[in-house]
Amino acid sequence: MPPMAESMPYWTARVLTLFPDMFPGTLGFSLSGTALKKGIWELETLDIRNFARNKHRNVDGAPFGGGPGMVMRPDVVGAALESVGPKTQPVYLTPRGSPLTQEKVRAFVSQGEVTILCGRFEGVDERVLEAYDLDQVCIGDFVLSGGEPAAMVLIDACVRLLPGVVGNETSVWNESFEEGLLEYPQYTRPEIWDGRAVPAPLVSGHHERIREWRRKAAENATRERRPDLWALRNERNMAVKD
């Protein structure tokens, strides 16, 4: 399918942030950058600071109950979310969220748009997360200094699934996680490098043998590196057989 006219993007990402100048950042380069210029997707940033109404334009306050750091105020974040109006369920990026998965990425793509709230400091007042029913999503078991790099990760993963972004569209179906497996290892020229040969089946020209080698390599990698994924896959396979 060719990309449609500039007036009609396939997908919109809306980012609520205290640092709108960080965007498009990495998203302005390579595949996502080209797609942004072509109008395949659209990026809107909202500066949360514009919704601070008190005279010092405070966006944060000390945590009730004490402790280090500052917390983003619910009145300010609430006003920013309110300005977006009724759209799809907004996402709050937080280490306290449920993990971002390829399945979840596909769901964000099919809903046509996503609104993302980026936290800073110690995070956002819990009441505003409840009041606006935010979908709390975590990009990994580590702590970043802000939600912006996490938003770029989420958006990048979505944009590469849009039609016309990755050249060979079948390639996005073949990748790590798509079948509950990590991908097989990849090789290119030269056929012998530094005394190391490419695995023989890959240069055999024998399609069945190549497929078989790749399937085994994918299974081995998953079993060794991601026992959690491997167990989940076996559970699902059992369920199918039952």
Q: How far is the CB of 100 from ligand SAH (least distance, A)?
A: 8
* CB-closest chain residue to ligand SAH: 119
- Tell me which residue has tokens 């290892």: 185
Comparison of 4 and 70: residue with beta carbon closer to ligand SAH: 70
Q: How far is the CB of 194 from ligand SAH (least distance, A)?
A: 37
Measured between alpha carbons, how far apart are the two ends of the chain, in Å?
A: 39
160 with 172: CB under 8 angstroms? yes
Q: How far is the CB of 230 from ligand SAH (least distance, A)?
A: 24
184 with 51: CB under 8 angstroms? no
Residue 85 CB burial class (10 angstroms; 0-12, 13-18, ≥19): exposed
Residue 25 tokens read as: 């950042």
Comparison of 3 and 95: residue with beta carbon closer to ligand SAH: 95
Comparison of 24 and 146: residue with beta carbon closer to ligand SAH: 146
Comparison of 142 and 173: residue with beta carbon closer to ligand SAH: 142
Q: How far is the CB of 22 from ligand SAH (least distance, A)?
A: 13
122 with 69: CB under 8 angstroms? yes
Dist. CA 231–CA 86, nearest whole Å: 39
Q: How far is the CB of 187 from ligand SAH (least distance, A)?
A: 33
Three-state DSSP class for 61? Answer: strand
Q: How far is the CB of 184 from ligand SAH (least distance, A)?
A: 28
Three-state DSSP class for 145? Answer: coil
Comparison of 31 and 144: residue with beta carbon closer to ligand SAH: 144
Comparison of 78 and 146: residue with beta carbon closer to ligand SAH: 146
Q: How far is the CB of 104 from ligand SAH (least distance, A)?
A: 13
Comparison of 9 and 74: residue with beta carbon closer to ligand SAH: 74
Q: For binding to ligand SAH (CB under 6 A), which residues are involved? A: 93-96, 118-120, 122-123, 138-140, 142-144, 146-147, 150
In order, the DSSP letters of 178-216 are TTSSPPPP---S-SEETTEEPPGGGGS--HHHHHHHHHH
109 with 55: CB under 8 angstroms? no
Could you give phi then psi for residue 78, rounded to 5 degrees? -60, -45
